[in-house]
Amino acid sequence: MSKLTEETVKNKVADRVLSMRSSAVRDLFAAANRDDIISLAGGMPDVSLLPAEAVQKAAEAAYDTNRKEALQYGGTPGRPETAKVFSMIMETGGVPGVDPADILITTGAQEALDLLGKTFINPGDVILCEGPTYLGALQAFAAYQPEIICIPFDEDGMKMDLLEEELQKHGKGGVKFLYTIPNFQNPGGVTLSLERRKRLLELSEEYDFMVLEDDPYGRLRYEGEPITPLKALFDQVIYLGTISKTFAPGLRTGWIAAPSAVIEKVNLMKQGTDLCGSTFDQVIVEHYFTDTPWEETLAKFVDTYAERKDAMLAALEEFMPEDVTWTHPTGGFFVWLTAPENVDLVALLPQALEQGVIYTPGNGFFPDGETGKNCARLAFCFESPENLRAAIERMAKVIEDSRA
Ligand SMILES: Cc1ncc(COP(=O)(O)O)c(C=O)c1O
């Protein structure tokens, strides 16, 4: 065996690895750990908002009451007790009646994305998603070499006329699945209207494609009434859930709720991936969602994030040049900002860092890595209202200075 240098490894890795880009922006992010930099970049929930006592109670109960099971391998689909908890969470979130047997527990929704890619995508398959969409979904799917086509959105979510146009090109059965984040989309912050949800499901029947509904943010609504989930409108939808934004991402626990034929095949793929997810984490999750007032805690998250969202929107209004636009989320973590085409927010990132602010440039959320350089995802979830105001003021200055 020869020495495994960068060059020799490059000659040996699978084609799927060669087709994946690494992002230059990551290096800049690594430099962004300075105390004087305000970050609008990450999508991390503020776990300092969690009541320490409740978390400790759940973790201790896992060890004291369920130690033997918690430290042992579990079944590949996950603990039935945890699946019951997820069925309950779905019910309180507007999807009643999901049979816990139709739930497979995953290592976060991220593993669910990978497993669904592994189960369904052949190289060259056409899959559709919002454009821009969640970077982690693009990474998970890209490893299975599909053709990923993005459908633009407006404040009411994915545009159904453009979706239909795309579907017509591929014909019935020509698209394997459509991936959507209908609530407070990442990175767009927009929400798919009820009318469009219904239209999307009609189109899924007419053109015979599967619908993947990824819903990490649905419970983080700051204004207005919840909109019926796709899964509640049509039980054949493949639903991805997670406790990352309602409890703690460090526990790496999510799930897929889907018809049993899907669960069966995904389960087969998961066996090869990790045999089973973390049983210990699942037991903690069970205790947290059954023994602690999690809905009260969630209401506190909502109040805090709502205040931060308002602070960001007010600062954008106050500081951004007139030709810059942004979305107006009613929940979730993100605002999507669009500057004029000639403003390159990738190129401006070093200047932004110099000013003490970092954001995520928009091109990472498109499969070609090129579209969206004049856009950025701004996360309001992690910083205080004062910091958010200062960050937007700095970012506006960077944009203005670039045109001086
Ligand atoms: C839309 C979307 N899907 C999936 C995930 C992954 O979540 P998890 O922490 O459950 O793996 C995220 C995380 O930010 C997300 O925004």
The whole-number mean pLDDT for each consecutive block of 10 residues of the chain, a chain of 404 residues, reads: 92 87 65 82 91 94 93 97 98 98 98 98 98 96 97 98 98 98 98 98 98 98 98 98 97 98 98 97 97 96 98 98 98 98 96 95 95 97 96 98 89
pLDDT recorded at residue 404:
80
CA of 9 from ligand 1 middle (Å) equals 30
Pairing of strands 334-338, 357-358: unpaired
CA of 81 from ligand 1 middle (Å) equals 23
* Cβ of residue 107 lying under 6 Å from some atom of ligand 1: no
* Cβ of residue 43 lying under 6 Å from some atom of ligand 1: yes
Closest atom of ligand 1 to CA, residue 242: 10
Closest atom of ligand 1 to CA, residue 109: 10
CA of 113 from ligand 1 middle (Å) equals 9
pTM of full prediction above 0.85: yes
* Sign of torsion over alpha carbons 260, 100, 253, 278: negative
CA of 6 from ligand 1 middle (Å) equals 31
Maximum alpha-carbon separation in the chain? 66
Rounded to the nearest 5 degrees, what angle is found at the Cα of 22, between the Cα atoms of 18 and 183? 110
pLDDT recorded at residue 20:
78
CA of 249 from ligand 1 middle (Å) equals 9
* Cβ of residue 362 lying under 6 Å from some atom of ligand 1: no
Q: Is 330 helix (H, G, I), strand (E, B) or coil?
A: coil
